[in-house]
Structure 1
Amino acid sequence: MEQEELLIKIAGILEKLNIPYAVTGGIAVSVWGRARFTADIDIAVELFPEKLKDLASELLKIDKDVYVDELSMQRALEKKGEFNFIHPASGLKVDFWVLKGTSFDKKEVERKISREFSGTSVSFISPEDLILRKLLWYKMTESDRQLEDIKSVLERQKKLDIKYIKKWAKIHSTNKILGKLLKDVS
C-alpha cells in the first residue's frame, strides 16, 4: 500500500464517521510548500469517546495485518495526546493527534481546506495554521526542519492571511521567530 492510498482510505473513514480532521505535518507541507519526503502521515482529529470504538473498528478493516490499539486510543483521548496506526506490510505509520480543545485547535479544524489528493477530496490544515503549528513545534524542539517547512510555505503561498498568523504567533509567543522568517523570505 502506498502512502497516498492509505491517506485516502483514512480520510474516507474519518468522513464516514463524521470525525473532524485535518492532515498536517510533512504531507501538508508538500501541499502548501515544497514537496518533501515524510515517513509518516500526521492527522489532527477532534475525537469524542462515542466515536472511539467505531474508529478502531474501521481502521482495523483497512488491511489484514494492521496495528491500532484501542487502549492507546483511549489514553490519547483522555490526555489529548497521540495514537498510532501502523501498516506493517508497507511500513507506513499514521500519527493521530487528538486536539486539545483550545481556541487555536478549534480554529485549526474550522479553517481546514479540502484539496484534491489523488482524485479524492481530503481535508488539510490551512497554510496559515500549518505555519503556526510548525512555529509551536519549533518552540518545543528547535528543529531546523520546522523553520525550513515554514519558509517553504511562506515562499509558495502568496495570499496568506499574515494578520491572522501574527495574531496567533503573538498569543503563542512565537512572534519573534515569525518576524525573522518573514524578513528572511521578503
Structure 2
Amino acid sequence: MELYELLEQVVRTFERLGIPYLVTGSVASMAYGEPRLTNDIDLVAGIRAEQVADLLIVFPAETFYLSEEAVRMAIEQQTQFNIIRPTSGLKVGVMVRKETPFDRSRFARARKLRPAESYQAAFASAEDVIIKKMEYYREGGSEKHLRDITGMLRISGAEIDDTYIAEWADRLGLRPIWDMIQQRLKDRP
C-alpha cells in the first residue's frame, strides 16, 4: 500500500467517524515545499474514547498494528499512538489534539489540499507546520526539520505569513530558531 493510499484510508475513516484531524509533519511539509523520502504520516486528531472501537474495526489486526491500549492511553494523556502497516513498514503517527491556544489556532487555519486526485484532506497550514517543525528541532536538533522549513519557505514563501510565525515563535519561545532560519535563507544564494 502506497503512502498516499494509506493516508486516503485514514482520512476517509476519520471523516466518516467525525474525528477532526490535520495532516502535518513531513507529508504536509512536502505539500508546501520540497519532496523527500518518508514512510511516516503524521496527523493531529481530536479522537475520543467512544471512537476507539470503530478504529479497531477499520484497521484490523490481520492487516494493521493498532493497540487499543495505546490509543486509549494516548487519548487520556494527550500523547500519540501509531497505526502501522507491517507489510509495507508505513506508519501513521496520530497525535491527540490538545486544548491549547496553538492547537485551536492551527485547527481553525486548516487547509483542504488534494494529495491525490481521488480525495481531499485537511492539512495544517504551512505556517503551523513550520512552527511545529521548529518545536521538533528544539527538542531533538534534527537538521531534517530545518531543511523542511527552508524548503517550504523557498517554494511557498510568497504565500507564507511571516508575521503569524513570528508571533507564535515569540509565544512558544522559538524566536532564536526562527531568527536562525531567516538568517540561513539570507545567507544562501
2:134 is the counterpart of 1:132: no
Aligned pairs (5 A) from 1:41-120: 41-60=41-60, 64-119=62-117, 120=119
How much does 1:103 deviate?
0.9
Give unmatched runs, 5+ long, in structure 2: none
Q: CA deviation at 1:58?
A: 2.1
CA deviation profile, 1:5-56 (whole Å, cap 9, x unmatched): 1110110001111111111111111101100111211111111222222223
Kept after mapping to 2: 8 A contact 1:33/1:153? yes
More moved, 107-116 vs 133-142: 107-116
2:35 pairs with 1:35: yes
Q: Which residue of 1 aligns with 2:11?
A: 11
Specify the code of the residue in structure 2 equivalent to 1:104. Answer: F
**Partner SS for 2:34:** coil
Aligned-residue offset at 1:133: 0.3
The equivalent of 1:154 in structure 2 is 153
Q: Read off the aligned partner of 2:80 and give its amino acid letter.
A: E
In the alignment, what sits opposite 1:144?
143
The equivalent residue for 1:123 is 122
- Offset from partner CA, 1:65-86 (integer Å, 9 cap, x none): 2111111100000111110111
Q: CA deviation at 1:96?
A: 0.6
Secondary structure at 2:106's aligned position in 1? helix
Amino acid at match of 1:122: A
For this pair of structures, how many residues does the alignment match? Answer: 184
> Is 1:26 aligned to residue 22 of structure 2?
no
- Offset at 1:152? 0.8
In the superposition, the TM-score normalised over structure 1's length comes to: 0.94
Q: Which deviates further from its counterpart, 176-185 or 140-149?
A: 176-185
- Which secondary structure state, in structure 2, belongs to the residue aligned with residue 84 of structure 1? strand
Match for 1:148: what amino acid?
R
Q: Which stretch shows the higher mean deviation, 42-51 or 119-128?
A: 42-51
Letter aligned with residue 125 of structure 2: S
Question: Is this contact kept in 2: 1:10–1:59, CA < 8 A?
Answer: no
Report the CA distance between 1:57 and its aligned residue.
2.2
Higher deviation after alignment, 153-162 or 47-56:
47-56
- Where structure 1 has 5 or more consecutive residues not aligned to the other structure, the ranges are none
Q: CA deviation at 1:183?
A: 2.7
